[in-house]
Structure 1
Amino acid sequence: MSDRSTTRRTSTTPGTGYGRVSTETMRNIVETRRTRRSFWQQLTLIGPAFVAGAWQFGPGNLTTAVQAGSGYQYALIWVIVVSTILMIFLTDMSVRLGIKSPISLISSIKDHLGGWVGVVAGIGVFLITLCFSVGNAVGSGLGLSMLLGGSPIMWTVICTVVVAGILLLRNVYRVIEKVLVVAVALMSITFIASAFIANPDWAAAGAGLLPTAPGGAWLLIVALVGTNFSVNAAFYTSYGTKERGRSEADYRDVTVVDTIPGIVAPGIMTALVIVVAAAVLGHTGEAAPTIVALAGVFEPLAGPVGATIFGLGFFAAAFSSMIANATAGGTMLSDGLGKGPSSSSATAKLVSGGILAFGVLIAVVFQSSPVQLIVIAQALTVLIAPILAALIIIMANRVTLMGDMRNRWWQNLCGIIGLVAVVLLSIRLVITLVS
């Protein structure tokens, strides 16, 4: 098809409520159709959303899911489903922002909304990573202790050193991406196996898809939303998309093989953890005191192998989240301060090291990680999430930046629903904590 033919068709092709489709967009559509990727070529597009999913699905997520299942059985599964749907839409906006931003999302925020707004965004994500760092550090050490024995603190220090070594590598994002995709695959296998070992009541689990709010569950609901509608992880997806050099021609395939499965996978795994906890501990009506308590219940069900399978999944979740958390916090604070938007920049690596050091320091000083403190830390992230969600939605509607990739009305509707949800949950959290 010639350029003249493309232009002629563009002039008579209606848009979707935003005027006519541009020549550039039609060219991208034609180019995409000409270069249909094979199945194996599409798999090479997997990456940024799976990194976000690995960050989202960490020990804090597991802890809140275990408490939800053991304390309220299957009643809170609906929270995961709703959070996952909203997360897909917000992550999709971030992917498009990564494609269209000339340098980075925070740089574009500075250009369009003011430098101080970009600084606030970078600092906001950094503060969230500090909240997550302690749980990630303790969780990785606890996971290896469950598998290999020995002191959890010793394994926490070892895991932190290993992650620090990974972050020092050149082209660090590509290495991290590969590690985390493997970790997500490992987690999927272990938690699916755990669910079948636990032999849950699947009919009751299906009933948990109907929204209910049991008495005393509001803090836990806020924590579940904070971990599964992970606005900070969605925000960071734009950086992975930019580092991988994605284009408009890649967008459709990226959505199918990366964005949707990368976000759905941790949602399914979280729901499975709730199902497992409900099956093995829910009959007591009491929340599990520790992750070890849940893993230990598998021994009567399936012997030591059952506990090992769950422990392996827990370690993969904590270790992968530790890597993604430190990388994201370092990259976005570095960008917010104007020191470069790449995870390979000196400032990003220095900040990432500081996040790791903070996590291991708190873990060593306090020698424990009470479940309730992890839940509260996860819940507190929703106080910052509304700012990040609002910035994503605003930037995804900037015509001068996004062009024909800007939000459609239905994307805005889902984004606003998510924003309203985190705002209301922030208010509910404050009421819960002060009452």
Structure 2
Amino acid sequence: MTSNRTSATRPPATPGTGHGRISTETVRTIVETKNTRRSFWKQLALIGPAFVAGAWQFGPGNLTTAMNAGALYGYALIWVIIVSTVLMIFLTDMSVRLGIRTPVSLISSIKQTLGGWVGVVAGIGVFLITLCFSVGNAVGSGVGLAMLIPGTSPVMWTVICTVAVGAILLFKGIYGIVEKILIVIVALMAFCFIVSAFAANPDWAAAGAGLIPVVPDGAWLLIIGLVGTNFSINAAFYTSYGTKARKRTEDEYRDITVVDTVPGIIAPGIMTALVIVVAAAVLNATGTDAPGAFGGLAAIFEPIAGPVGAWIFALGFFGAAFSSMIPNCIAGGTMLSDAVGRGASADTLTARLGTAFILGFGIVITMIFSGSSPVQLIIIAQALTVLFAPILAVLIIVMANNRTLMGPLRNKWWQNVLGVIGLLSVLALSVRLIISLVGG
């Protein structure tokens, strides 16, 4: 009894007080544990690279392929978005861990680990993919503004938008303002898709059935395009650069996964699925015979906004295209510069020349195929990205399994399984696309 009363009244033990002393190691553990418990606001501060990758995905190619999927095949291709999103999460997660662990940029690490020529191939592969995306961005920005201002030329607006992007990249001080305006525009469009998904009164049972994998006749090119935009391996690859630029640490990894990687990739996946649902309810269910024209696709917002819906669609489509042009050309130029040993920075001369080439390529292709259907041009450009994606997927998986480099963040067996499934998926689609191009 006496002993218990003494213990109850004894003041808290502190280091160096004799009986009941807490060891220095224990105190350090307590302090470190306390320090690693981040508040909600500190966790939000970790949001960044994955959301950038997700925003990059949700561009004109994504919207065009998803709306055509719903208009032409109803709810049947929703499963493609679900599978692509799951696989994208795991590839992006690998890239985040590589960004944390690699002492230099990912391409430089590939050169040191697998050989210089492998790093060059990786950088050129990303560069070629950004060239494909540049076509969709160029066409989308021009068409969006032409819809806003009837009677004007989409090609003219493509040139103006490209010059504007070049000016923004030269005068970086205004980029933040422009980016915020574009985010608001795209957010408005996203909100309209969410509201339309319910206002259009879709067949939710049929939408649920769309989770079961089926391949309708003639849908392969569209499926490849959907995978190319939603399982964007080049965006996943570039996430390692954003992670390293923000100096993320190993003890932040779990929080990064919760607040950035998973929601950053799931958000555009959900939005894309809703785009298919709305297009299926508004265009496919009503028999609208204009899936190949943006004028027909613009009718997607009529259930909630009437005639104003076409204006909202055009404004949002332009915002998605224009905002995607900037990170696409920056990423392509940066990784080309890194690949040829000129530095992993967008400010190097090589990176700037690569960025300019990407922007110019978008204009040239838009002009050459100005008489073609812009919708088909975007879909084909998105589909072509899967030709180079398998190379990047292999490199991400191989590097994420390097025991010396990755340490405790090395891939687990189940992460490898899902990574290989993603690799085999894009590889099979690449073969399918090549067969279609050769045969057609």
Query: Same fold per TM (> 0.5)?
Result: yes
Q: Which ranges in structure 1 are unaligned for 5 or more consecutive residues?
A: 8-26
Task: Report the more deviating stretch, 258-267 or 193-202.
Answer: 193-202
Matched, 1:393 2:381: no
- CA 1:316–1:363 in 2, change beyond 3 Å: closer, same or farther? same
CA contact (8 A) 1:172 1:344 kept: no
Q: 1:89 to 1:172 in 2, by over 3 A?
A: farther
Structure 1 distance, partners of 2:51, 2:189, is 12
Deviation at 1:85, TM superposition (A): 0.3
Write out aligned runs for 1:139-288 (5 A).
Answer: 139-149=140-150, 150-169=152-171, 185-283=187-285, 284=287, 288=291
The DSSP-based 3-state class of the residue aligned with 1:411 is: helix
1:207 to 1:177, Cα distance in 2 relative to 1, 3 A: same
Map of 2:384 onto structure 1? 380
Of 316, 321, 324, 1:321 maps to: 324
State how 1:63-102 maps to structure 2 within 5 Å. Answer: 63-102=64-103
- Asked whether the equivalents of residues 190 and 313 of structure 1 are also in contact (C-alpha less than 8 Å), the reply is no
Percent identity reads 70
- The C-alpha deviation readout for 1:145-175, integer Å capped at 9, x for no partner, is 3234443233222322222122224599988
In 1, the alpha carbon distance for the partners of 2:27 and 2:348 equals: 41
> Equivalent residue of 1:281, what SS?
helix
Q: 1:34 to 1:296 in 2, by over 3 A?
A: same
Distance apart, 1:2 and its partner CA: 7.3
Listed as ranges, the gaps of 5+ residues in structure 2 are 1-21
Shift of 1:133: 0.8
Which residue is equivalent to 2:437? 433
8 A Cα contact 1:191 1:310, kept in partner: no
Distance 1:334 1:369 in 2: 34
* Greater CA drift, 198-207 or 146-155: 146-155
Q: Deviations over 1:201-233 (max 9, x none)?
A: 222112111111112212211221111111111
**SS at 2:216 equivalent:** coil
- Whether the 8 Å contact between 2:148 and 2:315 is mirrored in structure 1 is yes
> Residues 174 and 125 from structure 1, CA distance in 2 versus in 1: closer, same or farther, beyond 3 angstroms?
farther
Q: Distance in 2 between matches of 1:132 and 1:391?
A: 21
Deviates more, 1:347-356 or 1:300-309: 300-309
Structure (1 or 2) with the larger CA radius of gyration: 2
Change (3 A) 1:263 1:368: farther
Q: Distance between the aligned counterparts of 1:166 and 1:243, measured in 2?
A: 21
- Are 2:349 and 1:346 equivalent residues in the alignment? yes
Query: Any conservation in 2 of the 1:183–1:320 contact (CA below 8 Å)?
Result: no
Give, in whole Å, the separation in 2 of the partners of 1:332 and 1:99: 18
| Residues 229 and 147 of structure 1, relative CA distance in 2, 3 Å threshold | same
Cα distance in structure 1, aligned partners of 2:46 and 2:182: 14
For 2:282, give the aligned amino acid: V
Taking a change above 3 Å as real, the CA distance of residues 289 and 49 of structure 1, as seen in their structure-2 partners, is same
User: Which deviates more from structure 2 when the two are superposed, residues 226-235 or residues 374-383?
Assistant: 374-383
CA distance in 1: counterparts of 2:331 and 2:222, whole angstroms? 25
| Aligned residue number for residue 367 of structure 2 | 364
- How many Å apart are 1:414 and its aligned residue? 0.7
Alignment CA distance shift 1:403-1:429 (3 Å)? same
Q: State the TM-score, normalized to the length of structure 2.
A: 0.87
Are the equivalent residues in 2 in contact too, given 1:186–1:316 (CA < 8 A)?
no
Name the CA distance, whole Å, in 1 between partners of 2:23 and 2:355.
49
CA contact (8 A) 1:145 1:151 kept: yes
User: Distance in 2 between the 1:398 and 1:247 partners?
Assistant: 18
How many angstroms apart in 1 are the aligned matches of 2:319 and 2:251? Answer: 33
For the 8 Å contact 2:289–2:296, the answer to whether it is kept is no
CA-CA distance at 1:346 after TM superposition: 3.1
Deviations 1:47-97 (A, max 9, x none): 211221122222122221122111110000000000000000000000010
1:232-279 CA deviation, whole Å, 9 max, x = no partner?
A: 110011111111111112212211121111111111111111112111
Aligned to 1:103: 104
The aligned residue for residue 332 of structure 1 is 335
The separation in 2 between residues aligned to 1:94 and 1:180, in whole angstroms, is: 27
Q: TM-score, normalised on structure 1?
A: 0.88
> Are the structure 2 counterparts of residues 176 and 119 from structure 1 closer, same or farther at C-alpha, using a change threshold of 3 Å?
farther
Between the aligned partners of 2:156 and 2:33, the Cα distance in structure 1 is 51
- Contact preservation (8 Å) 1:71, 1:286: no
Deviations 1:360-400 (A, max 9, x none): 23223443552223222211211111110000000001011
CA-CA distance at 1:301 after TM superposition: 6.2
Q: How many residues were matched structurally?
A: 415
Partner amino acid, structure 2, of 1:41 = K
Give the structure 1 partner of residue 14 of structure 2.
Answer: none
Task: Say which is worse superposed, 269-278 or 403-412, in terms of deviation.
Answer: 269-278
Correspondence 1:296 to 2:329: no
- Over the aligned positions, Cα root-mean-square deviation in angstroms equals 2.7
Tell me by how many angstroms 1:32 deviates.
6.4
Are positions 1:121 and 2:128 aligned together?
no
Residues 368 and 88 of structure 1: CA distance in aligned 2, closer, same or farther (over 3 Å): farther
Please give the alpha-carbon distance, in whole angstroms, between the structure 1 residues aligned to 2:183 and 2:405.
Answer: 30
Q: Higher mean Cα deviation, 238-247 or 343-352? A: 343-352
Q: Which moved more, 1:241-250 or 1:363-372?
A: 363-372
SS of equivalent residue, structure 2 residue 307: helix
Residues 272 and 3 from structure 1, CA distance in 2 versus in 1: closer, same or farther, beyond 3 angstroms?
farther
